[in-house]
Amino acid sequence: MADDLKKGLEGVLVAESGLSSIDGDEGRLIYRGYPIEDLARGASYEEVVYLLWHGHLPNADELEEFTTALDEERDVSEDVLETMKRLAAADEQPMAALRTAVSMFSASEPEDDAEPEDLEATLRKGRRITAKIPTALAAFERYRLDEEPIDPHPDLGLAANFLYMLTGEEPSDTHAETFDQALILHADHGLNASTFTSMVIGSTMADIYSAVTGGVSALSGPLHGGANQDVMEVLFEIDESDLDHRAWVEQANEEGRRIPGFGHRVYNVKDPRAKILQERSEELAKEGDDKWYNYTTTIEQYLSEEQGLAEKGIAPNVDFYSGSVYYQLGIPIDMYTPIFAMSRAGGWVGHVLEYQEDNRLIRPLSRYTGPEDQEFVPLEDR
């Protein structure tokens, strides 16, 4: 047994992957060799998912075939819709509703008899999951508002279609492009907790529905997902305060409050995804209310420069700007983490497929710290 205990598996190399790579010191993220900046500004979410799953960017014909296949899988069963309605009426948390929905998708799987080793069938199942998650999530939110779900729009891509199903209105080009970029930025990020969970499940050759359900479950924990919701709560507090936003930040700092959205397990500099979302926040501010952009930029400037957090390797992460961006898109704050899952499903499926190509059951060791040589006492004598 290994003598070195690595809590949280920190620094332990457990797999090789060609999907994404992170340089935390340089603030660099790549998918399949492509800088995240190029993909976010030049590709669609569908192109990026294709890249993660197939190893190359699609040409026009490949993209059309892929998006058509996704479009054909968007509808969810009446059973799923009825369950979303019941969960909404029960005031269930959105992540729990999503976890249930993904698990239920398998009930209508047309290839449920496929062998676990049939990775092409697994890929098609992953495509169905990716296509259906936006529909189920939007339906859940509509039911919470006592409104009927809206059918997927046949002429909109995945990002724009979700906003349409959520609100009933076709999003502006700026809104659709912003949300598409946000999905790209969250599609994959190395071997994080939810991705590793999906891989562990996949290593047992369980079906992809189980693996993605496990990913959703892992992401629901506050130490993994949810920080962008926390950021938005802070921005609401600033907005409702009698202080201007600069004075509020100074007071919070003097009181020793920790501002969410700063610091990352991997990045020692500003998260490259945060830079892109900051740009999108500025674009949205030009079309609507600029206070959210002003609040976030003031907080970043004060903490990073004046308080020296940047010099300590504590910088804005992707959640710091995604919260206000989603809010400006009209998305309820408790839907932020489910949207994270909606995007990351592409990465989870990609990692499971990659790992199963050369599969080995993931089975780490633990060090026993319990008692030794206990004497058994029969029940009647205890």
Distance CA 274, CA 181 (A): 11
Tokens linked to 268? 């020692």
From CA 344, how far away is CA 346, in angstroms rounded?
A: 5
Q: How far is CA 359 from CA 134, 176, 246, in A?
A: 30, 38, 53
Residue of 188, 264, 271, 351 marked active site: 264
CA 74 to chain CA centroid, nearest Å: 19
**How many C-alpha atoms does 251 have within 13 Å on its Cβ side?**
10
Cβ atoms of 246 and 2 within 8 Å: the answer is: no
- Token digits of residue 114: 């496929």
Question: Among all chains, which residue has been given the structure tokens 């907005």?
Answer: 239
The DSSP code for 31 is: E
Phi-psi region of 360 (alpha: psi -120 to 50; beta: other; left: phi over 0): beta
Distances (CA, A) of 222 to 184, 194, 198, 229, 341: 22, 12, 18, 10, 14
Of 105, 127, 152, the C-alpha closest to 353 is: 127
Selected catalytic residue, list 71, 207, 230, 319:
319
**Residue 319 appears among annotated catalytic residues:** yes
Which residues lie below 8 Å from residue 113, measured CB to CB, with a gap of 6+?
none
61 is catalytic: no
Active-site residue set: 264, 319
